[in-house]
Amino acid sequence: MSEMIFSKHFDKAEELMSALSPWSSFYRDNNLSMFIFRGQGNSEYKLTPYALRETVQKEMINKTKIYLEFYPDDAVSQCIPPIIEYQLIRDFYRQADMQGLQLPASRTLRNILYEKTELDTMSEWDPDAIWLPEDMLEAAALAQHYGVPTRLLDWSYSPFVAAFFATAPALEGLNTGFRKDGSLCIWGLNTQTVSTMHKAYKHSKIGTNSYLFPEFPLKIITPPYNGNPNLAAQQGLFTHWATKPGNIRMLIKNNTPKDNYGNDLVGQIENYNNALGFTGIDNTIIKLTLPNTEAEKMATYLRQLGYGHSKLFPGYQGVSFELNERVHFQRKPMK
């Protein structure tokens, strides 16, 4: 039986820091050089993109330039989120373009860009087409990196960058500082497994456009770092679970496709494997947890290694953040 998910809990920051280091036996034994990493301050949170989390749809609609309102029964249809998502990404793309900022090429987003809003693209969306389309992925990744909610998930090649985001103190909001309750989490996704699944699909071709099993929907997006110093500093990349959501016309006919995978990456991979009667590949995903009572200590070690705001957010703002977070670290008198 496959152990698709490997979980390990660490009690001390030193133990986890050591495990993430390339010279450790844990790193070598688990082949962590083949993984990409994501840090979360709460180990209970699933690997669900922000745009696909419950309760955020209304917030996203209010951010768009277009007025959209759906009947409650329709809001749960999987063809609705892409409509909202398209509007937000298009608004980001259009506004950035008007400011003369460097943007990835996208024929989909360039479609009648001179208009402030545009509904035709999504109302006429091919029911059999993949969302997000290939020519929007880099633009979506850029928007996601600068805070626009999309169905992409942020990852890093570096486990220490992931650890930074898992341990960084909150600088704004009601609960500033380091979390003390629960555990933090560093996720790892085995890129070799993803590559193997894609190759297996390609090699299963038995005729014209005929394959033994469906294409693995998980895509890894590696946008260019040129012109994006934050993404370069964070060694960032993204994952995308491709779907065929149908279009608004299918909704009117009450004939929208069913979502067989869900929105959580772990569940999506498991459901895909189950549909094939396949138990999965060992260590496709790793989950490393640490009590949040150790977060400050681990964050201190990371700063000593140079993994602070000023490194990961190059520029004046990153330097300011690094100064502002100092109030949350315990200070010892100099000797």
Tell me the per-residue pLDDT of 66-91, one tens digit each, with 9 for 90 and over: 666 554 455 556 778 888 899 899 99
Q: How far apart are CA 233 and CA 153, in angstroms?
A: 17
3-class state of residue 39 by DSSP: strand
Instruction: Decide: 265 and 155 in contact? Cβ < 8 Å.
Output: no
**Has residue 1 got a pLDDT over 50?**
no
Tokens of 267: 């569940």
Nearest alpha-carbon partner for 248 in 88, 101, 78: 78
Nearest alpha-carbon partner for 299 in 334, 333, 332, 329: 329
Kindly report, residue by residue over 144-162, the tens digit of the pLDDT: 999 999 999 999 999 999 9
Terminal alpha carbon distance of the chain: 56
Classify residue 101 by burial, with Cβ atoms within 10 Å: 0-12, 13-18, 19+: exposed
Q: Is 16 left (phi over 0), alpha (psi -120 to 50) or beta?
A: alpha
Reduced DSSP (H G I as helix, E B as strand, rest coil) percent helix, strand, coil of the chain, to 5: 40, 15, 45
3-class state of residue 298 by DSSP: helix
**Has residue 304 got a pLDDT over 60?**
yes
CA 5 → CA 233, 274, 318, distances in Å?
29, 15, 35
Q: Which residue has the tokens 């629960």?
A: 182
Instruction: Give mean pLDDT, residues 132-140.
Output: 94
Which helix (DSSP H) or strand (DSSP E) does residue 288 occupy? strand 285-291
- The angle that helices 137-145 and 80-98 make with each other, rounded to 10 degrees, is 80
Q: Which residue has the tokens 């950035």?
A: 96
Percent of the residues in the chain that have a pLDDT greater than 90, as a whole number:
64
- Give the pLDDT confidence score for residue 249 in this predicted structure: 67
Q: How far apart are CA 84 and CA 122, in angstroms?
A: 9
Kindly report, residue by residue over 224-261, the tens digit of the pLDDT: 999 899 999 999 999 999 998 877 666 665 556 666 67
Partners of residue 5 on adjacent β-strands: 285
Instruction: Decide: 321 and 309 in contact? Cβ < 8 Å.
Output: yes
Tokens of 40: 């979360």
SS3 sequence, 163-215? Answer: HHHHHCCECCCCCCECCCCCEEEEEEEEHHHHHHHHHHHHHCEEECCEECCCC
At residue 96 the predicted structure's pLDDT band, cuts being 50, 70 and 90, is: very high
pTM: 0.90
Nearest alpha-carbon partner for 5 in 239, 265, 260: 265
Q: How far apart are CA 106 and CA 227, in angstroms?
A: 17
Kindly report, residue by residue over 181-229, the tens digit of the pLDDT: 999 999 999 999 999 999 988 888 888 778 888 889 999 999 999 989 9
Average pLDDT taken over every residue of the chain: 89
**Has residue 321 got a pLDDT over 90?**
yes
